[in-house]
Each structure stands twice: as structure tokens, then as C-alpha cells.
Amino acid sequence: MQILKANHDLLSAKNRALANALNAYSGASVAIEAAKNGQPTFRHGGRLFQSAYSPEKEAASQTAEIAAKKPDWVLLFGLGCGQLVKALNDAGMDKVLVYEPSMEVLSGVLASVDLSGVLSRENVALYSDLTSLISKVREIDGFDTLLGYATTPYKLGFSQEFAEFNTRVNNAHTTNRVCIRTDIESRENWIENYFANIERLPDCPPIDSLRGAFKGVPMIIAGAGPSLQKNAHLLREAKGKAVIVAAITAYKPLLKHGVVPDFVIASEKVDLPEYFTYGEDDLKTRLILAEVANPGMFERKVREKFVFFNPFITLSRSQAPLWGSSYFPSTGGSVTTAAFDIGLMFGCDPMVLVGQDLCFGENGTHVPGGVYIAQDVKIDREKGSVSIEEDYVTLKERAKSSFDLLWLKGLDRRPVPSKFDWVTFHQWFENYAAALKNEGSSVRLINATEGGAWIEGMEHTTLAQVLERHLKNEVPIDFLVSEAVARRPVADFAGLLESVAGMQMSLKELKLAADAITREVSRLKKELSKEGVHSGAARRIERVKRLEDVLFRTAERSPFIWETLMASICELKEYLRAEAASGTQGIEDDVEAILKAYASLSKACAKFYPVLGRAKASLEAHAPRSESAGTTRKAV
């Protein structure tokens, strides 16, 4: 009992959900046996899971095998009696996530084997549900290497669970890496877009102006998955009884079915004029745009435009309150995920998804009627790849792309082919549903997508059923929107102006410091090539350090600058990782890496200085004269 209590106390602190699940578990538990050396071992399903002689020695072989691959994180499928986790820790591998697929094993082991020492380590965590494990995997740095490991009895005894574990861990880590890549490729555009959008933002109420405006009103979010074809026509009946939000890609297909959505949500960094009709329908709908969406999107003529601010952009987090927004939607990388969180902020219930297939359809990736005229999708299961050829509405030639093939569980529980971005969204939906459940939320989450992936934590049904059960009353949507917008908070233009002016000033200082560092490091490089490492080098390095201190202090006033430099920061990070892995690569390489990093910084400062100048000019038009002239307010 003491062992169980020690384990339980620790689990309660580290993973309360698991501790509760164990408390509630009333099924059978494996019997723990003593191996010949006294260590614990057990059988499950008639199979020995660890050595009956020395589980410790067995764990040592497995540890040697794992250590040879030098992973940053080890993801163990199966806890066993904990000897392997301990051996890994003893060998210096202290980042270990353990997923135990069997409550029968877990309850038996935790009742008899004291694992409190092992499990108390900071980076060791135990899970019995895959969703929580995957959630943790999503937090791991995409640069880190992960090694999934299972002993043979676990692979054989829990083959289905092992396959799912592998697929989902692989999906999660792939999306981590892809998200980093997307981030690297997009940050600079996002920041540039935001400053350009400042001119339009005064006319776009923050989306949280509508906070709580639709309490208890159903929201239907339409994605543009192939299955939307099956039930989009039913949305005509939903009009006026639910808030209908379309992902930008689903807008035109919905129009083809006679449905004008109440909102269309978009956040693309590039302009997407082809998604609009430039007719009556556009003027009946409202756009919900990300603050970093392409400025072209803010110029579309629609009934009304709302803006939302992203939580993962420092600049947005600091500026949003000045625009009167205190809401940052949780997003999983797609506008549909953002819309889902926005719906909850509106107070909507139930939240209903349609067209959210998250996988390849039989003939393409999207519902007909949008921007893809024809698609040819080829899935190569053996190579694990998907190639797509498609005629896009604005392109003269066929567009070609290819992706790694990933798999999700389908509505009929059989695997459906998917790709990294859909898998990311899928994980987000499942994590979101799990988080709501943990919070005790009563909001009903319904996936009425009639095809594609199963989303754990949601009720799966047809749209016809949703209409019948949940859409009974007329809702004065236009009135509710107008009323809420009329009460919207006023933007602090003076504060915004001062903030942007402060950032522009610090950009200038940053550039000066970066250029000074570049000059010092260039001189050091020349001296090193002529004289090798010499006594003067230390003095020069000291000067560089002092200049760096100045630079970092200045950069605190413009935190966005680091985000715009994501690509060079990542390059530097990869260089440092490679250096750490292979030992020193020589001072010349270090000097080269530093030069490159500061040259990028200087270039970014030069590029953004006029961009901020234009933003400042836009704000000056709105800011009260008396305040705009001064610079006494504290910069944000």
C-alpha cells in the first residue's frame, strides 16, 4: 500500500488525470513476479514481458541500443516495471515520455513497484492516454530528435495500440517540424502585413467585440473538405437559425449551394482575390481577418470586417490591447480552428463542423465549386507519398505538389490518408475537445462532416440530425452583431502611435549596434586569417560582447524584430546544435555564423524602418493631435 501511495502521490502532482483514472480503475491488474535476481517482472496475455532472470541486465542492453541513436527524447511504448526508464536516466537520457497502453499493467506495476524516484524526474512523464502524450509531444522543440521505442512483447501484445502510437507520434513531430518551417517562411510577411494593415484596422472591430453576443446559438463552421458536397445544401435551412462561418476556401462552394455565410474567415499572408465574387453575395457577408492577413484582403468590399489578433506573435500581443482587443484565439494552424475558438468566445452552443474531412477525398482535396477546377491526387502507399496535380483558377499551368503521406483514423475507424497540415488541425481539435472536457465545459462539440477523419472527443452525426435536434429558433444575427459592434471599445490611437514610433526609433539603434558588431567581427575575421588566434582577439571579443549587451537592451523595445529574423535565428540554432554534436568546428566558422546573423539583423532593421514610418503616418491621421505630437507615453 505504501508503494502505491508513493506512486499515486507523485502522479497526482505530475499527471492528475492519470492518477484519477487509476483511482477509478476497477479492472484486473497484472501479477508482479520476482525475477531470479529479485527484480520485478510480469506476464501479460501468457507472455513474459521482462526477463525472469534479470530485467536490469535486459534494460541495460536496450539502453545501449537507444543510446547509440543519441535521441534528445525517448518515447517509450510500455512502462514495464520501470527498469528501462531508470536505466535510461542512469545513462544520462533524462528526457523520457512513457506511454503505457494497458491499465491492467499500469495498475499492477504501480501497486507493487516503487517508481516514485524515476517518475519524479523533471523530464520523465507517464501517460495512459495517447491524446495527452501527443499534446506533450507537440510542445517539444521541432529541432529535437525523438526516438520511439518498444520492447518486443509490447509490440506483439499491443500491436494495434503500437501502430496508433507510432502514427500519432510521427504525425505530431512532423507537424512540429513543419510548423517551424512555416513560421520561418511566414514571420517576416506577417509582420510586414500587420504594419501595412494598420491603415485599415481602425475600420475593423476586433472580433471580441462580439464576445458573448451569441449565447446558446448554434455555430456551424464549414470547411472545404470534399464531403461538404454531401450536406452543404442543408445549410440553407440553417440560415438564420445558426451562425454560419465559412473558411475562405468554402465560401464560393457554399454560394453554389445557395448559402451566404454570416462570416467568412481568412488569415492568409498572400492575397486571395479569386475567392471572392465581387457581387451582391460579398456585400451580404462579413470577413473575419487575422491582423497579419494580406493587406489585399482588408480591401475586399464586404458587409463588415472584423479582425483577430494572433497569440503567437509578440507584436500582436503587445498591440492588441491598444486596438481594444483582449482576445487571442487558440488556433491549430487553420482558419477553421480559429473559428472554432471564436465560436466559443461568442458563446455559441453547439459547435458544429461540416466539410472538415482532414483527409484526401476520392477525387481531390476540396469540395467542387471553389478555386480548384480539377485535381488529380495520386497516393503511393509504398513510398508513403502523395502527389497532386491541379488546375487552379488563376494559374495557366497545372500546379504540382507532393507531400509525405500520413494517416488518421477515419469515421469508419479505418485509416484515411492525410497530410501534415490536416493532421495538425486534427490534433488541435482533439486536444481542444479534451481540454474542454477537462474544464467541465458543457458546450456540445459535433462533427457533422459526412466523411473523412474521426475526431476524438466530438459527437459524430449528420447535418440533417443537427438541424432536427439543435436548430429550432430564429436568431436575429444582424441585429446582435450591430448591437455588439456599437458597444465596441475605442482604440488607443495615441498609444499605438507612441508604440510604433518607439519601435521605429529602436530599430535605428539596433541597426547601428548590429553594424558596429559586424565591423568588429569582420576585423576579427581578417586578423584571424592573418595572425591566427592572438592576444588582441580577446579584447575584440570583449568589445563585441559589450555591443551585444547594448543591442539586446535596445531590442527589448522591439521584440518583433526577433520574429522577423526567425530564419537566421533558426539557422544559427542549427549551427550551434551541429557544433555541439560534432565538437568544435573552429573559431572561423563561429565568426562566420555571427557575421551572418548580425548582417541579417541589420538588413531587417533597414527594411522595416520605412515600413514603420508608413504605419506611423497612418496612425497620425487617427490620433488626437495633442497626444500624437508628444512622445511622453511609455512605449508598449
Partner 1 sequence: MTEVYLDGVRLEFEDSGSGSTIKELIETIENDLSGLRRFVMELWIDGEMLQEWRGSRVLNRPISIYSDYKLKTASMEEVALEGLDLVQEYMKVTRENIDACVNDLRVGNGRADAVMSSVFDGFVEIVKTIDALARGGERYRMDLFRENPAAYFNPVIRGLEELREASDGGDSITAADILEYELKPLLEEMEGNLFHYYA
| Cα→Cα distances 348→258, 293, 339, 462, 501, Å | 24, 25, 11, 19, 39
Cβ atoms within 10 Å, residue 91:
14
58 vs 349 by CB, closer to partner 1: 58
32 vs 52 by CB, closer to partner 1: 52
Residue 148 C-beta: closest distance to partner 1, Å: 12
Residue 67 C-beta: closest distance to partner 1, Å: 11
Dist. CA 6–CA 19, nearest whole Å: 12
**Considering the rule CB under 8 A, would residue 36 count as an interface residue with partner 1?**
yes
Query: For residues 151-170, which are near partner 1 according to CB under 8 A?
Result: 151-153, 155-156
**Considering the rule CB under 8 A, would residue 209 count as an interface residue with partner 1?**
no
**Interface with partner 1 (CB under 8 A), residue from 22, 30, 58, 88:** 58
**Interface with partner 1 (CB under 8 A), residue from 13, 28, 34, 48:** 48
Stretch 345-364: interaction string toward partner 1, x if CB under 8 A: --------------------
Residue 27 C-beta: closest distance to partner 1, Å: 24
54 vs 186 by CB, closer to partner 1: 54
**Interface with partner 1 (CB under 8 A), residue from 7, 29, 39, 51:** 51
Dist. CA 349–CA 441, nearest whole Å: 11
Residue 78 C-beta: closest distance to partner 1, Å: 12
**Considering the rule CB under 8 A, would residue 45 count as an interface residue with partner 1?**
no
The secondary structure element, H or E, covering residue 180 is helix 159-197
* DSSP label of 400: E
**Interface with partner 1 (CB under 8 A), residue from 75, 150, 204, 292:** 150
Quick one: three-class SS letters along 238-303? Answer: HECCEEEEEEHHHHHHHHHCCCCCCEEEECCCCCCHHHCCCCHHHHHCEEEEECCCCHHHHCCCCC
**Considering the rule CB under 8 A, would residue 428 count as an interface residue with partner 1?**
no
Residue 317 C-beta: closest distance to partner 1, Å: 47
End-to-end alpha-carbon separation of the chain, Å?
56
Stretch that binds partner 1, among 52-60, 111-119, 335-343, 372-380 (CB under 8 A): 52-60
Stretch that binds partner 1, among 47-55, 248-256, 261-269, 284-292 (CB under 8 A): 47-55
Residue in this structure with the C-alpha cell 452552443, named with its chain if needed: 349
**Considering the rule CB under 8 A, would residue 62 count as an interface residue with partner 1?**
yes
Residue 147 C-beta: closest distance to partner 1, Å: 12
**Interface with partner 1 (CB under 8 A), residue from 32, 52, 377, 443:** 52
Q: Are 50 and 80 in contact (CB under 8 A)?
A: yes
All cell numbers assigned to 438: 477537462
The secondary structure element, H or E, covering residue 126 is strand 124-127
Residue 162 C-beta: closest distance to partner 1, Å: 11
Q: Are 397 and 338 in contact (CB under 8 A)?
A: no
**Considering the rule CB under 8 A, would residue 56 count as an interface residue with partner 1?**
no
155 vs 256 by CB, closer to partner 1: 155
- Burial (CB count <10 Å: 0-12, 13-18, 19+), residue 619: buried
Residue 169 C-beta: closest distance to partner 1, Å: 17
The secondary structure element, H or E, covering residue 414 is none
Site size with partner 1, rule: CB under 8 A: 18
Q: Which of 287, 270, 278, 301 has its CA nearest to residue 205?
A: 287
Stretch that binds partner 1, among 146-154, 226-234, 264-272, 500-508 (CB under 8 A): 146-154
Stretch that binds partner 1, among 60-68, 185-193, 231-239, 380-388 (CB under 8 A): 60-68
Dist. CA 183–CA 132, nearest whole Å: 24
50 vs 431 by CB, closer to partner 1: 50
**Considering the rule CB under 8 A, would residue 119 count as an interface residue with partner 1?**
no
Stretch that binds partner 1, among 45-53, 519-527, 551-559, 600-608 (CB under 8 A): 45-53
Residue 533 C-beta: closest distance to partner 1, Å: 45
**Considering the rule CB under 8 A, would residue 393 count as an interface residue with partner 1?**
no
Q: Which of 44, 67, 72, 49 has its CA nearest to residue 150?
A: 49
99 vs 306 by CB, closer to partner 1: 99
Dist. CA 381–CA 379, nearest whole Å: 6
Stretch that binds partner 1, among 56-64, 372-380, 556-564, 577-585 (CB under 8 A): 56-64
Residue 47 C-beta: closest distance to partner 1, Å: 6
Residue 49 C-beta: closest distance to partner 1, Å: 7
**Interface with partner 1 (CB under 8 A), residue from 13, 16, 28, 65:** 65
Residues 6+ apart with CB under 8 A from 69: 147
- In this structure, what are the phi and psi dihedrals at residue 447, rounded to the nearest 5 degrees? -100, 105
Dist. CA 222–CA 247, nearest whole Å: 6
Q: Which of 48, 106, 57, 108 has its CA nearest to residue 84?
A: 57
Residue 66 C-beta: closest distance to partner 1, Å: 8
355: left (phi over 0), alpha (psi -120 to 50) or beta: left
**Considering the rule CB under 8 A, would residue 44 count as an interface residue with partner 1?**
no
What torsion, rounded to 10 degrees, do the Cα atoms 111, 117, 118, 124 define?
110
**Considering the rule CB under 8 A, would residue 61 count as an interface residue with partner 1?**
yes
Residue 60 C-beta: closest distance to partner 1, Å: 9
The secondary structure element, H or E, covering residue 382 is none
Q: Are 217 and 244 in contact (CB under 8 A)?
A: no
The secondary structure element, H or E, covering residue 373 is strand 372-380
Residue 68 C-beta: closest distance to partner 1, Å: 10
Stretch that binds partner 1, among 46-54, 197-205, 263-271, 489-497 (CB under 8 A): 46-54
Question: Within its chain, how far is the Cα of 82 from the centroid?
Answer: 32
Contacting positions for partner 1 (CB under 8 A) = 36, 47-53, 58, 61-62, 65, 150-153, 155-156
